[in-house]
Amino acid sequence: MIVNLATTYYISALAVAVGFRMNLFNIGVDGQYRLAALVAAAVGGTLVLPGPLHVGATVLVAVIVGGVWASIAGLLKVTRGVSEVISTIMLNAIATGIGAWLLHPDRLAVPVSGSNNIGTRPIPASGQFPGLALVPGTQAKVFGFVIVAAVLGLAYYVLFNRTRLGFDMRATGRSESAAVASGVNVRKMVLTTMIISGAVAGLVGMPQLLGASYSYSLDFPTGLGFTGIAIALLGRNNPAGIAVGALLWSFLDSSSDILDFNGIPKEIVIIMQGTTVLSVIIAYELVHRYRMAAQQRRVSRQLSAGAAPVEGATA
């Protein structure tokens, strides 16, 4: 369903956007959410708790794992000056290797009945997040985690527009020297931003894990982190814009199967997605340059208008 896919896309894009607001490129969302989902699934499959506590514990594990894994890149940047782009790419590969090692019958995996697949122990009913029925009496349900995604979007807006921490993060992203002059601890901001971005990334796999598969297996969705980068760019790091971008991306992805069924190459969807992102980025850049030029013209006119009386008086 389009809304279900858009929910995971939205959370992924929010994780990327947190880094973008600090001028950090967290390209490691993919590894962060996959490792977080694997560990959370393993913990959720072994816990015996009442419903809300079970769900909360599973989600908390995912948040912690994602935040801790992203903090490695943050520590490397603030202590050794390592670019977060390089470190997060490498951490993606390491997370993939760790996940493959853990997802083994001798460790966290068990055989999936009726197939050759393997996965973690299924999460019992107490740890599952119930879905929402859009039309009563139908089988189609929306992930209940869509509510959590909406709350995350609101929290993102409040953080960056209504809190001191968000202001310091945005100020550091725009000019580190100005932030230092204002008394902001740049290293602390970098590390904090990476941890928050990783914590949000840890939630990317939760809609699928708690609302559909209930287990982390070999066919668990991958690549959601890289899709989030495109959607964050498309939405210009605005929670409302990201929501529209996630719905658009989900609609196009869902349409690819229909196109293929009707004999139309589904690769056209990828072309449309790439063209859309490029068009939006170019349009925003042109608007930005126009505004800068218009502002410079206004300043020039004001200076000219203010200089004329002074010259006359001197004469």
The model's pLDDT over 77-112, given as tens digits with 9 standing for 90+, comes to: 999 999 999 999 999 999 999 999 999 999 999 988
Q: Which domain holds residue 202?
A: 2-264
Is there a domain that residue 290 lies in? no
Is there a domain that residue 287 lies in? no
Q: Which two tokens stand for residue 80?
A: 């050794």
Is there a domain that residue 184 lies in? yes
**% residues pLDDT > 70 (the chain):** 96
State yes or no: pLDDT of 312 exceeds 60: no
Is there a domain that residue 282 lies in? no
Q: What is the 3-state secondary structure (H, E, C) of the chain?
A: CHHHHHHHHHHHHHHHHHHHHCCCCCCCHHHHHHHHHHHHHHHHCCCCCCHHHHHHHHHHHHHHHHHHHHHHHHHHHHHHCCCHHHHHHHHHHHHHHHHHHHCCCCCCCEECCCCCCEECCCCCHHHCCCCEECCCCCCCEECCHHHHHHHHHHHHHHHHHHCHHHHHHHHHHHCHHHHHHCCCCHHHHHHHHHHHHHHHHCCCCHHHHHHHHCCCECCCCCCHHHHHHHHHHHCCCCHHHHHHHHHHHHHHHHHHHHHHHCCCCCHHHHHHHHHHHHHHHHHHHHHHHHHHHHHHHHHHHHHHHHHHHHHHHHC
Q: How far apart are alpha carbons 260 and 253 in whole angstroms? A: 11
Lowest mean pLDDT, pick from 19-28, 62-71, 77-86, 105-114:
105-114
The domain tally of the chain equals 1
Triad 145, 6, 167: Cα angle to 5°? 80
Is there a domain that residue 44 lies in? yes
Lowest mean pLDDT, pick from 38-47, 57-66, 259-268:
259-268
State yes or no: pLDDT of 140 exceeds 50: yes
State yes or no: pLDDT of 257 exceeds 90: no
pLDDT at 307 (0 to 100): 55
Is the CB of residue 17 less than 8 Å from the CB of residue 231? no
List the one residue out of 85, 76, 81 whose CA is nearest residue 20.
85
Is there a domain that residue 242 lies in? yes
Is there a domain that residue 304 lies in? no
- CA 138, 143, 147, 150 torsion-angle sign: negative
Q: How confident is the model at residue 305 (pLDDT cuts 50, 70, 90)?
A: confident
State yes or no: pLDDT of 262 exceeds 90: no
Mean pLDDT score of the chain, rounded to an integer? 91
Please list the residues that pair with 191 across neighbouring strands: none
Is there a domain that residue 278 lies in? no
Provide the CATH number for the domain around residue 14.
Answer: 1.10.3470
pLDDT at 290 (0 to 100): 93
pLDDT at 281 (0 to 100): 87
Q: How far apart are alpha carbons 105 and 234 in whole angstroms? A: 41
Is the CB of residue 280 less than 8 Å from the CB of residue 269? no
This prediction's pTM: 0.91
